Structures are given as C-alpha cells and as structure tokens.
Amino acid sequence: MIGHILRRRYKIIKELGLGGFGETYLAEWPQDLPVTPKYKCVIKRLIKPSTPELDTEERFKKEAATLFKLGKEHPQIPELYDFFEENREFYLVQEFIEGHDLSNEIVSGEPWSEADIIQLLQEILEVLAFVHENNVIHRDIKPLNLMRRYPDNKLVLIDFGIVKEISNLSLNAQGEISSTISIGTRGYMPSEQYHGHPKLCSDIYALGITAIQALTGVSPHELRIDSDTLEVLWIEQAQASNALVEILTKMVRYSSQQRYSDAGEALQALKQAGLLSLSLAISPRPIKIGDQYGYIDLTGRIIIQPQFDLAGEFSEGLAAVNFGAQKSLFSLKKGGKWGYIDMSGQLVIPPQFDAAEKFSEGLTLVQTGEKFDYINKSGQIIIQSEFDEAWGFKEGLALVQMGDKLGYIGKSGQIVIQPQFDEAEYFFEGLAVVCINEKYGYINKAGHLVIQIQFDYAGNFCEGLAVIRIGDQANGQCAYIDKTGQIILQPQCGLAVEFSEGFAGIKIDKKWGFINKSGQLVIQPKFYSPGRFYGGIAKVFVGGQERYIDKMGKFIY
C-alpha cells in the first residue's frame, strides 16, 4: 500500500498499524490539487464481510455518520474527513493527531501521582460523557487510544470500535446479524463486552483499568484476579486516597450493574468526592527572587515564599530544597543540607543530606558524606548502595558506577545490566544512551544494543524521538532519530535538545529557539538556554534572569 494513491487524492506514505479488523495508514492529501505542503491524514482500511446477505454498505454509512458527528461536535475526537468503498473494502479518512499515545507516559514500574490520575480521569470522562450522551460506546479505551496532542497538551480519544464491527459481521443460525469477534483489548475489556454485549459502563471499566495501570505502574495482564469474586486485585499496589480508591473500585467492578452506568455518573462521583480540584494542582515551579528561591504557579503567582538557598523541581508531590548553601567562586551556591517539602511548602523530610535528587517511582537517591542511599517518601532508607556512585530510578532501573564503568540495578538493589559502559544515561521510553570509546548508541532494558554505537552525541528519547549529532559541536550537524535509528528531522543547527509537549529547543547563532515536530521554527531564537515544556510553559534564561514562556513564546513571568 505504501505509495498507493486512493481516489486520486490520498497518497499512503506510512503504515501505522495492522489488526484483525484492517489496517491503518498515514497519508498525504490532496494529491489532486496544487497544494504545498500537503496535509497529513489517517486512513483506516476495513475488510468487507464476504456474506452477501448483509447490508454492510448501509451500516458503514450509519457508523461513519456517527463518527462524523462526534468529530465535528467535540474538539478532542478526531474529525472524519471522508469515507468510501473501493475494491470491496471500506475506507475512513480521519484527522491526523500530532502527538503521542499514553503508552509513552504510562510506563511499567513508574507510578503516576494521584493528582495526575485525577486529571486523566477528569479529562477523558468529560470527552466520554459527550460520547455516551450520543449513546455511543467507544469499546476500546486503553493507553494506545488516548493521544496527547502536542499543540495544546490535551488528550484526544481515538480509534472508536463501532466501525470495526462491520468487518466481522455474520448471520447466526437464527438468521440474526452478529459480530464474530468481540471488539476491544484483553485486559481492558470487561466480561460482558468479551461475550459480545458491550454497554456504556464497559467504557468505564476500560478507563478504570487504564487509570489503575498508571497509578500502580503495573500492566493489566500482571494484575491478579480474585478467584471467588472475579474482582481485580490492585489496591495493595497503589498509593492513593480512600476517595480515589473507592471511585476506581466501582469503575472496575466485575458486575456491570455495580459500576457507574456511564461517564456522566462517574464524573459526578469525582465532583462529589471533592477530587476535581486536585486535578488543577499542577506542580509549582521554582523561581529565584533575589538570593533565595520560592515557587510560583502557572499564572506566575508566588505560592511558596522565597526562603530556600537552592530549590529543585517538584516530582511525585515533593521537591528537594537546600538550607545553608553559601556563595562560592563565580557566585555559585554550594554546601548546606537538603531536605524535602510538599506542595504546600511544609517540610516533610528534614534537611540532612549533602545531595538529593528528585523522587521517581517512590524513591530518591540521597548522599551523606561519601555514602549513597535510596529513601522513600517517609525518609526511610530502602536500598543501601555499595557502589562508587549511583543515580535515581527511571523506568524501574537505576544507573550505578563500579570503578570507571557504568551499569544498572533493579529495585532489589541487584545488578541487572553489568557495568561496562564509559558513559550512560537513564532509560527513557524503554531505551538508554550508552557510550563506548567516545561514541554513542542505545540499549534496551535487557542490555542489548538496539541502535549501534556510532554517534558523536546522543540524547534521550522523548515523545518517540531523540537528538543525535555526527561531528563536533562547532562543525557537526544535529538530527532527530526514531527508535529504529532512522533520521526523521534535520534542523539546521549544531545543538538541540529533546522534545517536550511537541516542542524542542535548538541553538542558532548563539541563541535558543523552539521547533515543532514538523521541524518548523515556532519560537524565534532569543534565549540563552531552553527548558522543557510542561503544562504548556517552559523555563528560559534571558537577560540574566529566569523567566517562563508559553507556547506562543510570550513571557508569563
């Protein structure tokens, strides 16, 4: 199909997915008009049933009309541009969502915070409530079908199951039309849906399982089932308030009658439990005012007064702060002791460490003298490190050093990838940068080299792409590669950083600006250093000051 042009308008350029219901492709259009550049769209090819008695054309038109209405009336559902039949196959042409799916964010061994779970539930339930009001069942809610759209960071609900069913229709012994295969994904699909009887509350079950997966860092296939009640057993693996536990428990009840009947009812339960306000509690950002650090919210309002000599970013509800650091040469602050505060500014782990990292997966690395330890959020030592140097956990593994070589340990403290690298980084999206003899490549979590060691510089994977450089910083050329090692973007710059929320910093003529995933320069170079976008804003340095910008490049503080 690659290179094939449908209806003289849509040129297939890439395969996105294959399944029992058909295929999905990325296409460029319109080929029949002198338009440059071409626009991207998604084309779904559905196999038409061979049973001639079935009026599948009418059913296809009916379901396509439903998708058209949903996409037109809600901004977080892809628009349907076109539908047609060709060579006994049905085709849907839909809006292409520039972003990444939540399987890139919901990572095994990396639990989300409660505030992030509530935000996920609120956003998807609000979209799903609109879908359910139209008496439509999505049928396949899972991380792969929840897209984080780059321009505005909103979640988009994709890949509705209603049209897939047409590919699997048949006549049963009673002459009734039925589907030969249940639509949905094992692990996320409740019992009634598996047996061919989906309900609105089947979507509630799937979303509940998705939220539990994010909250626990455990995939649905690894969750145990009570042999007597058939209920999912997950609570012992989660850190959450009783209110959230009660809501998630009701969402994933085995009996459909014991669940929330639809998204509107589940959303109302969140409101009545007083949880929705928590979803707005985006982590405060550190800001230097005078000689001390405090924290601001997304509007730039100071919410934790300047009182710390040094301050780190919030992670999993806590931030490392320093008391007693003194100015040294070049006006840098050093020394002092590190502790941790919560988002109200209260000290929860007293200052006692010589160095401290951000919390990740419930643990953080602290240093006292020459000794490294991993502590939990109560300040208790969980792993006593015997390594020459150590770093924090990411995606279930932590980087450690023995002698002059680097390797990785698991959460038991045991080595899982032997120290063998001259340089190495954290794992991001399942891959880690490693260096041997001043050249860089990428390994997977089994320690296998998946992108050969060949680059003069390599950055972490973020949103499916990583920045690499061949040649030195002065004369080399940066590019962005995908996880196969294929070059996707080649901005004209010698220095670039990773993507975040669809934006990446690049350096042009000694100043930093930002490009999008099409490689277009969307924020002009004018900063001395770029930060990562989070919640729609990024920290930058300009005129010797720390400032924050939005995605239009406007200063908000």
Catalytic center residues: 140
**How many other CB atoms sit within 10 Å of the CB of residue 495?**
18
**Of 247, 144, 149, nearest to 204 (Cα)?**
247
Place of tokens 């509630």: 204
**27 SS3 class:** strand
| All residues at 6 or more sequence positions from 385 whose CB lies less than 8 Å from its CB, including other chains | 365, 371, 372, 373, 374, 400, 413
Q: What is the DSSP string of 373-395?
A: EEE-TTS-EEEE--SSEEEEEET
Taking the C-alpha atoms of residue 71 and residue 283, their distance in angstroms, rounded to an integer, is 32
Q: Which two tokens stand for residue 364?
A: 């953080």
Write the CB contacts of 396 (distance below 8 Å, at least 6 apart in sequence): 108, 109, 110, 361, 410, 411, 427, 445
Let me know: does 470 contact 477? Beta carbons within 8 Å.
yes
Residue 105: both structure tokens together? 């964010």
The two structure tokens encoding residue 71: 């996409």
Helix ranges (H only) for 31-113 are: 56-73
Q: Which residues pair with 432 in a beta bridge?
A: 427, 443
**Token duo for residue 352:** 């006692």
Q: Please give the Cα distance from 121 to 102 (Å, whole number).
A: 13
Q: Is 292 exposed, middle or buried (0-12, 13-18, 19+ CB in 10 A)?
A: middle
Tokens of 160: 């509705």
Which residues, in sequence order, are CB contacts of 33 under 8 Å at separation 6+? Answer: none
Tokens of 505: 């910093």
Q: DSSP for 238-304?
A: ----HHHHHHHHHHT-SSGGGS-SSHHHHHHHHHHTT-HHHHT-PPPEEEEETTEEEEE-TTS-EEE
Name residue 459's amino acid: G
Give the containing element (helix H, strand E) for 119. helix 114-133
Task: Please give the distance of CA 271 from its chain centroid, rounded to a whole number.
Answer: 25
Amino acid residing at 13: I
